[in-house]
Each structure stands twice: as C-alpha cells, then as structure tokens.
Structure 1
Amino acid sequence: MLTGSDYNTVWLWDTETAEQPRTFGGHTRSVYSLAFSPNGRLIATASGDGTVRIWSNPVGPAPTTQAVAPQAESVERRTGVPRPNALVLVIGNKNYAHAPEVRFADRDAKAMADWFRDVLGVLPENVLEEHDASSVRMAQLFGTSAVPKGEIHNRARFADEVIVYYSGHGVPFVPEQGRPLGHLLPVDVPAAEPRFGGYPLDLLIAQLQLLPVNQVTVLLDACFSGLTQGEGGAVPMTSAGFAVGVAAPVHEAKVSVLSATAFEQPQFAHWLVDRQHGAFTWYALEGLGGAADRDGDDRIGFRELGTYIDERLAKSGLQQTPSFTRSSGDPLIVELARP
C-alpha cells in the first residue's frame, strides 16, 4: 500500500505484515497524487512543488498491493493572512552523537516550516529551517554572551516579529546550588554535560529579547527533565538516572515561550507514533490551522494556542502539561483569512 501526506513524504507499506519497507522523501511540498505501474515495479508521486517523480519499487509486485489515494493523517487547516514582515526559525534535532535520537524531530521541523510557508502566510525566504544543529551552529544562530548578535539578530533587522520553533532534546544542568537549569541540547553535546556546549534557556530568551522586533514567540517541543521517550516508556539520558524539574526560564518583556511540558515537573514530551510526530507539535499544527480559534474571531492568540494544546494533550491521556510564559497582553500568533 502506498500513502502520501501533507509533509512531503510517501510511505510504502506491506499490507500483510504492516511493515514499512521504504519511504520516499524527495519532494519539497505536500504529496497529493500517487500510483503504481501496472506491473507494480514503478511508483509515481506528484507534489505541490510542481514535480512528478518516478521511483523503483524495492518490494516488487504483490497480489495484495494496490494503488490508493493518500491516507496519511493530515491536519485540517485554514490559511493565514500574509505576514511579509515575520521571520521564522525552525530547528529539528533528531540525530544525536551522545543521546538517543528524537524520533520525529525532523518531520516535526519540516511540517512546521511548511506550515508557516504554505499555510500561515510567511514568505518562503523568511522561513529558516535547520536540522541537526551543532553547538557551534546554535551559537551562530542565536549569538552568545560574548558575541550577542547572531544570524537571527542580523536577519531580524528587516522583520517586526520573530517565531522560533525547536524540536529536539532539552536537558537539565544541576548546579551545586539552586534549581536545575534547562538547556537546549545540540546534536554534538553529551546529555550528561550540557554545560559544555548546551544552550541555556535563560540565554536563549535573553538573546531573543535583544532582537530589534516588537514580538518574539518561542515554541519548544522538548522537555528538560532528563527523560526521553523510548520504545517502552521514559528513558533517562543523564547520569543521575532520574527525572527532575527545572527552574522556569527568566521572563522577558517581549518574549513569549510555549513549551511542551511543565518546566518544574519531571515530565517528558510524548510522541504520537501513529501520526509520526511529537504530540505537542501535532496539536500545535491543529491549533494554528484554526482549531484553536474558539471564539471565532479569526485570530489565534498565544493564550488560545496554549490552552488548546493543553486540552488536546489532556484528552489524549498524556501526562504532559504545556508551560507558557508570555509578554504583556496576549500576543497574536495567527490571523486567519476569512473563508
């Protein structure tokens, strides 16, 4: 069986074993049409990127295999009002040298980048997409205490709002005194030693506060407890071998942060394996597509989005509570075009 999706990928399935022999990922936009050749040895896929690709079928013809329309889960969506002055940075850290992989981080990042480009009205050249960012790359993007103006600062001179999305590991650093501190984990930094190359949340928010824009929104599909999801549940990543809560990051006036888990509780960020996405990201996409607009005013504020994600996680039975700190008022995240 062949299935396509809104996220640029096609999956080939064995209908007898439910195994997935191969994925096809060459398109840069949603895949809308697919078909087998009569003998089953070739596959054709067509995408919103304007291309048709022909693939060799590694499985070969099988009596139970047939061409079908795409059946992958997709999120209902409305389009957003164009946002020519928005700058978006999307980071997906999946493949770690010294920690378990974040199974769907690459798909999360690609889906979110596509969402901002294709649905929410951000200019393609203003959507920056990074995969498997190293410690040096994170420093280049956001800057450091010694070199405060990174690439985002330079690009933000031509924007009036910045949105940062991150899917990957977060880890705690436990100092000799005080509460553990949350860090984003670059792919080349050991989870047990985030002080050597990890990017502190407090530094991230301080750097974003320096940007020459009016509003900054941060979406984090990460937890900071020292746990990650494994095949059988939570897996410790740090030498302590147990989960901890971390101190909530410093609040800055124009930076709003929505995180997948409560900072001060030892939670981990769940995956929705059937959808091949992080739970936080999937429900964020739903909300940004219009589902979070509960009052019907065609505007989705920061509080509305956070509340929607919280409700969806709770109704899914996941022990995961989003945490959000916001700037004054209720920053606007999306303005939807009227149907």
Structure 2
Amino acid sequence: MYLVMRIILMMACVFAAIASHGQSITRTPLYQEGFDSGSREWSHVTIDDLGYEAYINQGKYVCRLPENNSMGWAWTFVSLPDRIRQTVDSNSKIDLEFDWTVTSNRDDSRIGLMFDTYNIRDGCPGGDFRAILFEGDGATLETSFSQTMNCNRDLKWIIDGTDTEDRPTNHVKISKDNYTWTVYVNGKNVLDFNYSGSMRLAQLNYGRGTYLVDNISIYRKNLSVAPVASANQQGATTSSSNPRIWILLAGIDNYLYQTPLNYTVNDVRAMYNFWTSASGGRIPRNQIVLLENQEATVDNILRNANRLFSQASQNDIIITFLSGHGGYGSFASHDGTLDYQNLNVIINRSNARKKLCIIDACHSGSFSRKEVLTSRGETLDPDQSVNLFYAALSRSGDGIAYLLACRANQLSVESPELQHGLFTYYFLEGLNGAADTDRDNLITIQEIYSYLARRVPAYEATQNPELQGTYDPTMPLAVIHK
C-alpha cells in the first residue's frame, strides 16, 4: 500500500436557486498599489558603490542600475512585497497588471518578474529561478520565459514570445490559470506557456537604466453562471413524480502536469456501474456523464456540470463524484486546478434541493428522522428495491452533510491489493449491503459513515473518515435487493 494525495469530501448541500446556463469570467480586485510615499511594503535600496537604487518617488516605484556600474552587471533585482507574492502564489486564477516606463537607456531596456522554484526568494547563490522578461530597444519589445541557475546573470531562454511595439510606457498583464500562463503587452497576446512545477513569485528584475513602475493591480478570476428558466418552467419532473438523479463523474489517472495515479478511473467506473444498477436506483444513462483522464479537463468538468445540473427540478438530486489528486480548496483535473468555489457556483444554483458532492482527493435545512419503511430482514427483488429507494429518497429532508475520507492533516491511500482508493472501496462495499446494520434494506448516510469509520482505519490506521454538517441521518444512499 502506498500513500497518495487523496481525501474524500462528500457534501450534500442545500441551496434553492435559479438554474444555470452559460459561463463567463468576472474579476475581483485583490491588490492595488498607488505607491504612497509612506509605504513600508516596498524595498528601499541604496548601494552607493554600484549606484544601484530602488525607492518610491512621486507615486511611482523607481528602479535604477547605472549603465557603467562598477560590477559590470547587466541586470539586478529587488524583492517584491510579501502581500503581492502571497496573493499571486495562493490563487490559481489571477491577472497581475502593471505599467513600466524607461527613462534612461531605452535602447537596451529590460524588466521582468522572477519566480523561485526552490523557495529561496531573497538570496544568492542558491536560487533556481524562472523569469518572465521584457526587453526593448526603443522600437521592438521582446517577451520571453527564461531560466537562471544560482542567480547566474546569464539567462537561459526557454520560450520566446511574439515581438511587439516598444512604447515609452508599456502595460503588461500576466494571466495565471492553474498551470497555464498567458502574457499580454499593450493588449496583445505575446506569450503562452505551461509550467507544472512550483513557481513562487519572488523579485522584480531590471536591467541597466532607470525604470518607473506604476499601477500594479491583481485580480482574481471568478466563474460566473448566468441564470436561465427554472427546470420546472422547462417541463422538468414535478414534485408529484419520483425524484430524478443527475450524476457527473470524473476520474483521472493520467495528468499533463501531475504524477500519475492508478485506480481513480476504476473508482468512477465502479460508481457508474453501481448507480446504473438496481441498488443505486437504475439511473438512466442520459442522466449520467462519465469523464475519464484527458476528458476530465477543468473546462469540461464545469461545462458538463452546468449542462447537467441545470436540468434538475426542486424534487431532484444532483451528484458530483470526482476522483484524483487534490489540494486545499481545489481538485487536480487532467489539465490544471479546479477550484471548488467555481464548481460550487454551478452546484448551488441548481434547482435541486438535495445535492451530493463526493470528491476523492487529498486534504479534505434541518432534518428529521423518518420511520422504517420495510420489515427488518425482508428481501426484495430489483423492481421492489428501486421503488423503495425512490420512496425513501422522496421522504428524506434537504440538508448539508460532509463525509470526509480523512482528517485535514491526513492523507488517504490507494491500495494495489484492492485496486481502488481505500475510501471508495469501502464506500462501495458498504453501499452494496455491508453497511446495512439494521437490516431494513436501505443504506443511509449515517450507516455508511459508521461502516467507513470502522473499516478504513482498520486497514490504514492513519486514515480516519469524518462526517460533518446538518443532515438527515436516514437519507438513503442505496437499497439492497436479493
């Protein structure tokens, strides 16, 4: 058995809202710098023997390296404020914008941002840096993504961008979208690249000459979902009918930018087979979307969730099941990082009052009890079991529950022996009957948690599932048939 970056987050969320259709990106300001002369965040540097300076003057940040400095340096750098670095590093979707003006040595200008890959941001030697650089000659501006080892001032070019006009003042926008970076100069797309490793914003790089930096802004990009007609207006199932179940599954073993996993596709295929069986409610195949590996991109997951869940009525239940790598507040899709908040925009705006989100990845109103619906120990045929399942689902309350595969400081495991993630294996085993402790043929959320809390740590002592939230403990997740 070996540990992988996995945790299960299982949410049944309640929000009755307008169904959604269509997606757009909005921006939330996170940082804006007007360069107040009293600012303490920005470095103030003076090195007399070099004439090297960095300071705030008249609402701009001034960086100067004399053309004939005593060390013969072609460029140097100054550390960026912690607030800027932390804002860029901690958000997976941001736009960083700034203006820069060259007031001397414009025919050989150079400015850029340096990113540290070994978390040694402020000292040399020892760093391994990547840099987004802008170099101009007064007529043409070149953009590149470069590398420097141990602060060596001879840079290795990795990717050359598209040349553009070098203006007296240039406006730069650097757009980060998970592992994809896009650079714009004066509104023109000049550079695109993917970088999957650690890349932490560290320093402002500048060459010989005097530079004025101004109008620094950072924006977080948000997914916005536009409302459409509700499911009932579209002729969806009404409350007099059995609830319908809409399910999105995505599992990724093979990634563009992450180490591979082994059994996540097994997990989602097994869940698909369960939900299309009598025990899982015989969900019609046109109400389930299954995405595997390269199909499970950030855009494809969000697009299919939006399309599928906008069809649900208030009487329905929507289920999301994601299996793969994860981090705090995010899930690793095939091509990048999917923020849970963007997925929740779609989930929360669906008309469905019962919402279940199961996320198998690392770092993971009220209810009233209902009477038992069948005699203890009674055996049912498949048709009877399906009828029982939907009757119990209709009677259960709305609410929110979190079923976590492990505590926040724990990892979940994959098991070569079981050919599944450990949580998913016992989750399925419980749904197929092992968790039915009162022998009423229904597997409730409380029963499945009690089963997981017993079986998972018995297999792996460092993994302890948790159940949180306000929920109906009798909410059915499965039904048993003979």
Q: TM-score, normalised to structure 1's length?
A: 0.55
Q: Read off the aligned partner of 1:129 and give its amino acid letter.
A: L
Who is 1:290 aligned against? 433
Within a 5 Å distance, the mapping from 1:96-107 to structure 2 comes to 96-107=255-266
> 3-state DSSP class of the match of 2:334?
coil
Task: Tell me the percent identity.
Answer: 24
User: For the aligned residues, what is the CA RMSD?
Assistant: 2.3
Within a 5 Å distance, the mapping from 1:214-229 to structure 2 comes to 214-224=353-363
User: Kindly tell me: are residues 272 and 138 of structure 1, through their superposed partners in 2, closer, same or farther at Cα, counting changes over 3 Å?
Assistant: same
Within a 5 Å distance, the mapping from 1:135-154 to structure 2 comes to 135-142=298-305, 150-154=306-310
Higher strand proportion, which one?
A: 2
Between the two proteins, the alignment pairs up a number of residues equal to 204
Does structure 2 retain, via aligned residues, the 8 Å contact 1:220–1:258?
Answer: no
Query: Comparing both chains, which one has the higher relative contact order based on Cα–Cα distances under 8 Å and sequence gaps of 6 or more?
Result: 2
Q: What is the CA distance between 1:84 and its match in structure 2?
A: 6.5
In 1, Cα distance between the equivalents of 2:471 and 2:314?
A: 23
Who is 1:185 aligned against? 332
> 3-state DSSP class of the match of 1:87?
strand
Within a 5 Å distance, the mapping from 1:114-133 to structure 2 comes to 114-118=273-277, 119-121=279-281, 122-132=283-293, 133=296
Unaligned runs of 5+ in 2: 1-241, 365-397
User: Kindly tell me: are residues 159 and 141 of structure 1, through their superposed partners in 2, closer, same or farther at Cα, counting changes over 3 Å?
Assistant: farther
Who is 2:149 aligned against? none
In 2, Cα distance between the equivalents of 1:115 and 1:338?
A: 13
In 1, Cα distance between the equivalents of 2:253 and 2:480?
A: 34
Does structure 1 retain, via aligned residues, the 8 Å contact 2:250–2:301?
Answer: no
1:196-253 CA distance string (max 9 Å, x none) = xx2223443453222111211122221138xxxxxxxxxxxxxxxxxxxxxxxxxxx7
Q: TM-score, normalised to structure 2's length?
A: 0.39
Runs of 4 or more off by more than 4 Å in structure 1? none
Q: Are positions 1:166 and 2:166 aligned together?
A: no
1:246-278 CA distance string (max 9 Å, x none) = xxxxxxx7443323222x31x222012112111
Who is 1:272 aligned against? 415
In 1, Cα distance between the equivalents of 2:402 and 2:308?
A: 17
1:320-339 CA distance string (max 9 Å, x none) = 12233344322623352454
User: Kindly tell me: are residues 135 and 292 of structure 1, through their superposed partners in 2, closer, same or farther at Cα, counting changes over 3 Å?
Assistant: same
Who is 1:201 aligned against? 340
Does structure 2 retain, via aligned residues, the 8 Å contact 1:271–1:277?
Answer: yes
Does structure 2 retain, via aligned residues, the 8 Å contact 1:216–1:256?
Answer: no
User: Kindly tell me: are residues 157 and 219 of structure 1, through their superposed partners in 2, closer, same or farther at Cα, counting changes over 3 Å?
Assistant: same
Who is 2:404 aligned against? 259
Unaligned runs of 5+ in 1: 1-82, 143-149, 173-181, 190-197, 226-252
Does structure 2 retain, via aligned residues, the 8 Å contact 1:301–1:333?
Answer: yes
In 2, Cα distance between the equivalents of 1:203 and 1:126?
A: 22
In 1, Cα distance between the equivalents of 2:418 and 2:471?
A: 35
Report the structure number with the largest CA radius of gyration: 2
> 3-state DSSP class of the match of 1:137?
helix
Residue of structure 1 aligned with 2:311, choices 155, 165, 170:
155
User: Kindly tell me: are residues 318 and 221 of structure 1, through their superposed partners in 2, closer, same or farther at Cα, counting changes over 3 Å?
Assistant: farther
1:127-179 CA distance string (max 9 Å, x none) = 2211121121122134xxxxxxx12322324961112211111113xxxxxxx
1:255-312 CA distance string (max 9 Å, x none) = 43323222x31x2220121121111110010111011111222222222212211211
Q: What is the CA distance between 1:116 and its match in structure 2?
A: 0.7
> 3-state DSSP class of the match of 1:155?
coil
In 1, Cα distance between the equivalents of 2:465 and 2:344?
A: 18
